[in-house]
Amino acid sequence: MPSGKFRAIKPEIRIVGIDDGVFVPHTQGWTDVVGVVFRGGYWLDGVMKTEVAIDGMDATDKIAEMITTSPHYAQLRVVMLNGITFAGFNIVDIKKLSELIRLPIIAITREKPDFDDIHKALMHLPESEKRWSIVKDSQQLIKIKTRRGQEPVYMQIAGISREDAEKIVKESSTRSNIPEPLRVAHIIASGLTKQRLKN
């Protein structure tokens, strides 16, 4: 598993940004998870998709499989997640994911998570202690200002140094305070699932 510093961070570093789509909370079922491959924060190179269970326990493995079976896998250098919770409270273990795919992970959130509220919510779900253990293991938050004049964001990292993660996040935040791979993944995932829910 990679760790420490990159030898160099190229402007066209291959990043996959991953986000989930729209879903009905507290229901049984699944939602789409979309990955978009970007060169830096400018060029879209590809799209990948999987499905995860609402409030399930499969997000880490499903995302790992989606990435490693993609034709883009060999070119990828960094994985970005929109937070560590997908489809409700299907929590991604970022350390395990980094080990499975042998790539560094950067999870980004616009707002600072309230871990007390998360803990309370998890108590109503199966395997609550296991879920909470994953959250605790990943809960170190790093506040970062990506663009001048915009609100800061928060990141959690695995398999990468703070210094390199900050450089990559700032370099790829070309349109807003969120890295472009995540912004586009959100748009695509939301569009897919809204259309599916209508049908």
Question: What is the spatial distance between Cα 92 and Cα 94, in angstroms, rounded to a whole number?
Answer: 6
Tell me the pLDDT of the chain averaged across its residues. 91
pLDDT at 80 over 60: yes
What's the predicted TM-score (pTM) here?
0.92
pLDDT band at 199 (very low <50, low <70, confident <90, very high): low
Token code pair at residue 27: 């229901």
Tens-place pLDDT, residues 96-106: 999 999 999 99
79 - beta bridge partners? 16, 105
Compute CA 179 distance to the chain's CA centroid, rounded to the nearest angstrom. 11
14-194 — its CATH code? 3.30.2170.10
Tens-place pLDDT, residues 120-178: 999 999 999 999 999 998 878 999 999 877 889 999 999 999 999 999 999 999 999 99
pLDDT at 55 over 60: yes
What is the Cα Rg of the chain in Å?
16
